[in-house]
Amino acid sequence: MRILLRAFFAVAVAMAWLILPSCRKERLLLEKDPDAIGQFCRIDTFSFGPPGSYYDQVFITYNLHGDPMTMTSSVPDEGGELYDNIFFRYDNSGRLRDCFFASPNLEPNTPFPIGSIDLWHRFTYPSPHVIIDSFFNYDGPGIPPVENPPGTNQPVGVTTYEVDKEGRTIRTNGSSITTYDNRGNVVIPGIVYDNKVNPYRTNKVWQLLFQDYSMNNPIVPATAYRPATSYIVNFNKWGLPLAYHDFSEGDFGVNLFFYIEVENLGISYSCDQKPGKSAPE
């Protein structure tokens, strides 16, 4: 009888979990693992320009493991590297191996998406606590076979990251140790953080590429001309930034993902009401 009761209880718990509203499940997941936000809330698009009058959007696709595969601009490839598409490849362990900045392959009836590669990041993992990023100014063809590694090209830069047991960078190229506070934010003199969710936390690939493992978003320090401020002007219900605006009058800029000095930036997520669409106005 006791065995039957235990079995009944286990089934009841499983059924209760299944019928829980999705939002409730997600909140319970976050209570257990704050870094699980990317399991149900990943970035769909970036939008540039004021809401309602965007001049460009970047659409992100993901593989079956939830890691980014492509970042495709809505603007034709007429601006050189500024409007390159971005492609990602992974090793057999699911770790980021390559990040290409490339033009799309416009040849008809071909499954390979990359045309000409401009820039190439190659990541290697010589030990569990060391990651090496070799950066190539490649300027070569991307149609098959893509050279692996990039031929005889010499990298224009090599960066070595030492990571802690949580996978966060604690030293770059032998620099002094990077520390994190009790909230999980990197300690930088003069910088404080909000209590919202850093968008890089939606995927470990973003954290590696942009070397930002902080839990929250930094607040821009005050100057003689303005008080401390945040570039973020809107959040979704999960605390993820939806819209950025540069209030800094030129002395700072919104530097996020691959985009530098952006005045207006919108982000949409898979957990928004309209995933894959423009960020809310």
Neighbouring residues of 133: CB distance < 8 A, sequence distance ≥ 6: 121, 122, 123, 158, 159, 160, 161
Q: Are residues 46 and 20 in the same domain?
A: no
* pLDDT > 70: percent of the chain: 75
Q: Which two tokens stand for residue 196?
A: 């919202």
pLDDT for 30: 77
Least confident of 48-57, 111-120, 202-211: 111-120
Query: What integer is the mean pLDDT of 16-20?
Result: 44
With 0-12 / 13-18 / 19 or more C-beta atoms within 10 angstroms meaning exposed / middle / buried, residue 250 is exposed
The answer, yes or no, to whether residue 81 has pLDDT greater than 70, is no
Residues 102 and 25 in one domain: no
pLDDT of residue 226: 63
pLDDT band of residue 219 (cuts 50, 70, 90) is confident
Show the CA angle centred on residue 254, arms to residues 208 and 240, nearest 5°. Answer: 65
Please report which confidence band the pLDDT of residue 182 belongs to, taking 50, 70 and 90 as the band edges: very high
Residue 39 CA to residue 202 CA, distance in Å, equals 8
Q: Which residue has the higher pLDDT, 158 or 150?
A: 158
Nearest C-alpha neighbor of 264 from the set 244, 247, 248: 244
Same structural domain for residues 13 and 43?
A: no
Domain count, the chain: 2
Contact yes or no for 268/45 (Cβ under 8 A): yes
Q: What is the pLDDT of residue 276?
A: 39
Query: Do 174 and 123 lie in a common domain?
Result: yes
Q: In this predicted structure, which of 124-133, 154-163, 238-247 has the lowest mean pLDDT? A: 238-247
Shortest CA distance to 88 belongs to which of 67, 74, 105?
67
pLDDT at 186: 95
> In this structure, are 164 and 192 located in the same domain?
yes
Residue 145 lies inside a defined structural domain of this protein: yes
CA distance 165 to 38: 20
> For the segment 116-144, what is each residue's pLDDT rounded down to a tens digit?
888 899 999 999 999 999 999 888 776 66
Question: What is the structure's pLDDT at 275?
Answer: 39
Range of the domain at 57: 33-269
pLDDT at 244 over 70: yes
H/E stretch holding 98: strand 96-104
pLDDT digits (tens, 9 = 90+) for 88-108: 999 999 999 999 888 776 666
